[in-house]
Amino acid sequence: MSDRESKLTNLLIIFTRNPELGKVKTRLAKDVGDQSALEIYKFLLKHTVSVTRDLEFAREVHYSEEIQHNDIWDEDNYIKKNQIEGGLGEKMEHAFLYGFKNGYKNIIIIGSDLYDLNREELEEAFKALETFEYVLGPAEDGGYYLLGMNTFNSEIFKNKAWGTDTVLRDTLIDLKDQQIQLLDERNDIDVYEDIKEHEDFQQFFQYLKL
Protein backbone atom coordinates (compact mmCIF):
# COMPACT_ATOMS: atom_id res chain seq x y z
CA MET A 1 0.00 0.00 0.00
CA SER A 2 1.38 3.40 -0.98
CA ASP A 3 1.72 6.34 1.42
CA ARG A 4 -1.20 8.04 -0.31
CA GLU A 5 -3.40 4.94 -0.03
CA SER A 6 -2.54 4.62 3.67
CA LYS A 7 -3.58 8.22 4.33
CA LEU A 8 -6.86 7.66 2.49
CA THR A 9 -7.79 4.46 4.33
CA ASN A 10 -6.06 4.56 7.75
CA LEU A 11 -6.81 7.18 10.40
CA LEU A 12 -5.05 7.66 13.73
CA ILE A 13 -7.08 9.72 16.21
CA ILE A 14 -5.20 11.25 19.15
CA PHE A 15 -7.24 12.51 22.10
CA THR A 16 -5.45 15.21 24.03
CA ARG A 17 -6.17 17.65 26.82
CA ASN A 18 -5.23 21.27 26.45
CA PRO A 19 -2.09 21.65 28.61
CA GLU A 20 -3.40 24.01 31.29
CA LEU A 21 -2.24 24.32 34.89
CA GLY A 22 -4.48 22.40 37.28
CA LYS A 23 -6.43 20.67 34.50
CA VAL A 24 -4.13 17.84 33.44
CA LYS A 25 -2.91 14.75 35.28
CA THR A 26 -4.93 15.69 38.36
CA ARG A 27 -4.35 12.33 40.09
CA LEU A 28 -0.61 12.68 39.54
CA ALA A 29 -0.75 16.28 40.75
CA LYS A 30 -1.92 15.15 44.19
CA ASP A 31 1.62 13.88 44.79
CA VAL A 32 3.82 16.07 42.58
CA GLY A 33 1.87 19.34 42.45
CA ASP A 34 0.07 21.06 39.60
CA GLN A 35 3.17 22.60 38.02
CA SER A 36 5.13 19.34 37.88
CA ALA A 37 2.06 17.50 36.59
CA LEU A 38 1.74 20.06 33.81
CA GLU A 39 5.41 19.75 32.85
CA ILE A 40 5.14 15.97 32.84
CA TYR A 41 2.08 16.16 30.61
CA LYS A 42 3.87 18.47 28.17
CA PHE A 43 6.75 15.99 28.14
CA LEU A 44 4.32 13.20 27.27
CA LEU A 45 2.75 15.31 24.52
CA LYS A 46 6.15 15.83 22.93
CA HIS A 47 6.77 12.09 23.05
CA THR A 48 3.43 11.37 21.39
CA VAL A 49 4.22 13.85 18.63
CA SER A 50 7.64 12.28 18.10
CA VAL A 51 6.20 8.80 17.49
CA THR A 52 3.21 9.84 15.36
CA ARG A 53 4.24 12.74 13.14
CA ASP A 54 6.08 10.66 10.53
CA LEU A 55 3.55 7.85 10.23
CA GLU A 56 2.13 7.15 6.79
CA PHE A 57 -1.44 7.36 8.09
CA ALA A 58 -3.83 10.28 8.33
CA ARG A 59 -3.66 11.84 11.80
CA GLU A 60 -6.25 13.83 13.72
CA VAL A 61 -5.65 15.45 17.09
CA HIS A 62 -8.84 16.06 19.07
CA TYR A 63 -8.59 18.77 21.74
CA SER A 64 -10.52 18.61 25.00
CA GLU A 65 -11.07 22.37 24.91
CA GLU A 66 -10.47 24.88 22.12
CA ILE A 67 -8.27 24.05 19.16
CA GLN A 68 -4.82 25.57 19.53
CA HIS A 69 -2.78 26.89 16.65
CA ASN A 70 1.00 27.19 16.45
CA ASP A 71 1.46 24.50 19.10
CA ILE A 72 3.41 21.23 18.96
CA TRP A 73 0.71 19.64 16.78
CA ASP A 74 1.78 21.27 13.53
CA GLU A 75 -0.97 21.64 10.98
CA ASP A 76 1.12 20.19 8.17
CA ASN A 77 0.96 16.81 9.91
CA TYR A 78 -2.23 16.85 11.98
CA ILE A 79 -5.87 17.62 11.25
CA LYS A 80 -7.21 19.50 14.29
CA LYS A 81 -10.65 18.91 15.78
CA ASN A 82 -12.56 19.40 19.01
CA GLN A 83 -13.92 16.61 21.16
CA ILE A 84 -17.67 16.86 21.56
CA GLU A 85 -19.34 17.52 24.90
CA GLY A 86 -20.13 14.48 27.01
CA GLY A 87 -18.44 11.50 28.59
CA LEU A 88 -15.41 9.70 27.23
CA GLY A 89 -17.50 7.02 25.58
CA GLU A 90 -19.60 9.57 23.74
CA LYS A 91 -16.50 11.48 22.64
CA MET A 92 -14.80 8.37 21.25
CA GLU A 93 -17.96 7.09 19.60
CA HIS A 94 -18.40 10.41 17.79
CA ALA A 95 -14.78 10.46 16.67
CA PHE A 96 -14.98 6.95 15.20
CA LEU A 97 -18.38 7.53 13.61
CA TYR A 98 -17.24 10.59 11.72
CA GLY A 99 -13.98 8.96 10.78
CA PHE A 100 -15.89 6.18 9.04
CA LYS A 101 -18.32 8.67 7.51
CA ASN A 102 -15.32 10.48 6.05
CA GLY A 103 -14.32 7.32 4.23
CA TYR A 104 -11.56 5.85 6.39
CA LYS A 105 -11.50 2.05 6.54
CA ASN A 106 -9.28 1.40 9.55
CA ILE A 107 -9.39 3.73 12.55
CA ILE A 108 -7.31 3.67 15.73
CA ILE A 109 -7.61 5.95 18.75
CA ILE A 110 -4.97 6.63 21.39
CA GLY A 111 -4.43 9.13 24.17
CA SER A 112 -1.43 11.39 24.52
CA ASP A 113 0.05 10.22 27.83
CA LEU A 114 1.62 6.84 27.12
CA TYR A 115 5.39 6.98 27.36
CA ASP A 116 5.72 3.31 26.34
CA LEU A 117 4.10 4.05 22.99
CA ASN A 118 6.25 3.61 19.89
CA ARG A 119 5.86 3.96 16.16
CA GLU A 120 6.36 0.26 15.44
CA GLU A 121 3.46 -0.71 17.68
CA LEU A 122 1.14 1.73 15.93
CA GLU A 123 2.14 0.32 12.57
CA GLU A 124 1.58 -3.19 13.95
CA ALA A 125 -1.90 -2.20 15.13
CA PHE A 126 -2.95 -0.92 11.71
CA LYS A 127 -1.54 -4.05 10.09
CA ALA A 128 -3.63 -6.15 12.47
CA LEU A 129 -6.79 -4.49 11.15
CA GLU A 130 -6.08 -6.02 7.75
CA THR A 131 -6.90 -9.40 9.36
CA PHE A 132 -8.85 -8.71 12.54
CA GLU A 133 -11.96 -6.60 13.11
CA TYR A 134 -10.61 -5.02 16.28
CA VAL A 135 -7.28 -4.32 17.91
CA LEU A 136 -6.84 -3.47 21.60
CA GLY A 137 -3.85 -2.37 23.63
CA PRO A 138 -4.42 -3.44 27.25
CA ALA A 139 -3.25 -1.09 29.99
CA GLU A 140 -1.87 -2.34 33.30
CA ASP A 141 -4.62 -0.51 35.21
CA GLY A 142 -7.43 -2.51 33.58
CA GLY A 143 -8.25 -0.06 30.81
CA TYR A 144 -6.80 0.18 27.33
CA TYR A 145 -4.36 2.58 25.73
CA LEU A 146 -5.32 1.85 22.12
CA LEU A 147 -8.52 0.86 20.37
CA GLY A 148 -8.87 0.17 16.68
CA MET A 149 -11.62 -1.16 14.42
CA ASN A 150 -12.54 -1.53 10.77
CA THR A 151 -16.30 -1.75 11.38
CA PHE A 152 -18.14 0.85 13.44
CA ASN A 153 -19.50 -0.55 16.70
CA SER A 154 -21.26 1.81 19.09
CA GLU A 155 -21.87 -0.78 21.81
CA ILE A 156 -18.27 -0.81 23.05
CA PHE A 157 -18.61 2.85 24.08
CA LYS A 158 -21.69 2.32 26.23
CA ASN A 159 -22.17 1.19 29.84
CA LYS A 160 -18.53 1.54 30.84
CA ALA A 161 -17.14 2.86 34.11
CA TRP A 162 -14.44 4.92 32.40
CA GLY A 163 -11.26 5.35 34.38
CA THR A 164 -11.73 2.13 36.35
CA ASP A 165 -10.15 -1.32 36.18
CA THR A 166 -13.24 -2.86 34.54
CA VAL A 167 -13.06 -1.09 31.18
CA LEU A 168 -10.95 -3.63 29.32
CA ARG A 169 -12.85 -6.59 30.76
CA ASP A 170 -16.23 -5.13 29.82
CA THR A 171 -15.01 -4.20 26.35
CA LEU A 172 -13.78 -7.75 25.74
CA ILE A 173 -17.17 -9.06 26.86
CA ASP A 174 -18.80 -6.81 24.25
CA LEU A 175 -16.44 -8.24 21.63
CA LYS A 176 -16.56 -11.89 22.71
CA ASP A 177 -17.74 -13.14 19.31
CA GLN A 178 -15.49 -10.85 17.25
CA GLN A 179 -12.00 -11.21 15.83
CA ILE A 180 -9.63 -9.31 18.14
CA GLN A 181 -5.89 -8.76 18.15
CA LEU A 182 -4.44 -7.89 21.55
CA LEU A 183 -1.21 -5.90 21.69
CA ASP A 184 1.33 -6.04 24.52
CA GLU A 185 0.21 -4.67 27.86
CA ARG A 186 1.50 -1.17 28.60
CA ASN A 187 1.51 1.24 31.54
CA ASP A 188 -0.27 4.51 30.95
CA ILE A 189 0.71 7.28 33.35
CA ASP A 190 -1.91 8.38 35.84
CA VAL A 191 -0.31 8.44 39.29
CA TYR A 192 3.10 9.02 40.86
CA GLU A 193 3.73 5.30 41.35
CA ASP A 194 3.64 4.85 37.56
CA ILE A 195 6.81 6.90 37.09
CA LYS A 196 8.53 7.38 40.44
CA GLU A 197 11.30 4.92 39.55
CA HIS A 198 11.52 5.85 35.87
CA GLU A 199 14.82 7.52 34.99
CA ASP A 200 13.37 9.82 32.32
CA PHE A 201 10.98 11.43 34.80
CA GLN A 202 13.42 12.17 37.62
CA GLN A 203 14.02 15.64 36.17
CA PHE A 204 10.50 16.59 37.30
CA PHE A 205 11.01 15.42 40.89
CA GLN A 206 14.21 17.20 41.88
CA TYR A 207 12.40 19.90 43.85
CA LEU A 208 9.81 17.65 45.43
CA LYS A 209 9.74 16.65 49.07
CA LEU A 210 7.54 13.60 49.07
Q: For the chain, which residues make up each domain, given as ranges? A: 3-202
Tell me how far CA of residue 59 lies from CA of 51, 62, 89, 163, 190, in angstroms: 12, 10, 20, 25, 24
Please write the tens of the pLDDT for every residue from 137-153.
Answer: 999 889 999 999 999 99
Please write the tens of the pLDDT for every residue from 38-56.
Answer: 999 999 999 999 999 999 9
Q: Is the pLDDT of residue 210 over 50?
A: no
Looking at the chain, the whole-number percentage of residues with pLDDT higher than 90 is: 74
Q: Is the pLDDT of residue 83 over 70?
A: yes
Please write the tens of the pLDDT for every residue from 176-192.
Answer: 999 999 999 998 888 88
CATH architecture of the domain covering 3-202:
Alpha-Beta Complex (3.90)
Whole-angstrom distance, CA of residue 36 vs CA of residue 45: 14
